Amino acid sequence: MDIKGIIRQAGGPSRVAKATGLRSHATVIGWRRVPAEHARTVARMAGLTPHDLRPDVFGPETTHERGAA
C-alpha cells in the first residue's frame, strides 16, 4: 500500500495530523513515508503494524508478533 492509501485508511490527513500533534494536514500530505516517530500512531489508526510502515526502523516482524497484534 502506498503512503496515500495508508493515510486514507488511517482516517485522512487531518485526522492523522491531529493524532500526531502536527499543526497542519499539509505536513501529512507531504510525507513520502511515515516518519519513524509517528509510525506507531499511524499504524494503530490504519490497522497495521509499525513493521508494515517502517521495516527499515522496526525490523522484520515475527510470526509471534503478528499473532499478538
All structural domains of the chain, each given as residue ranges with its CATH number in brackets, are: 3-68 (1.10.260.40)
Q: What is the pLDDT of residue 49?
A: 94
What's the pLDDT tens digit per position in 28-51?
999 999 999 999 999 999 999 999
Write the single-letter amino acid at 9: Q
Question: Quick check: 3 and 11 in contact, CB under 8 A?
Answer: no
What's the pLDDT score for residue 64?
55
pTM of the model as a whole: 0.84
Cell numbers for 50, please give them.
509499525
Q: Which among 46, 49, 54, 45 is positioned nearest to 5, based on CA atoms?
A: 46
Question: pLDDT value at position 1?
Answer: 82
pLDDT at 67: 56
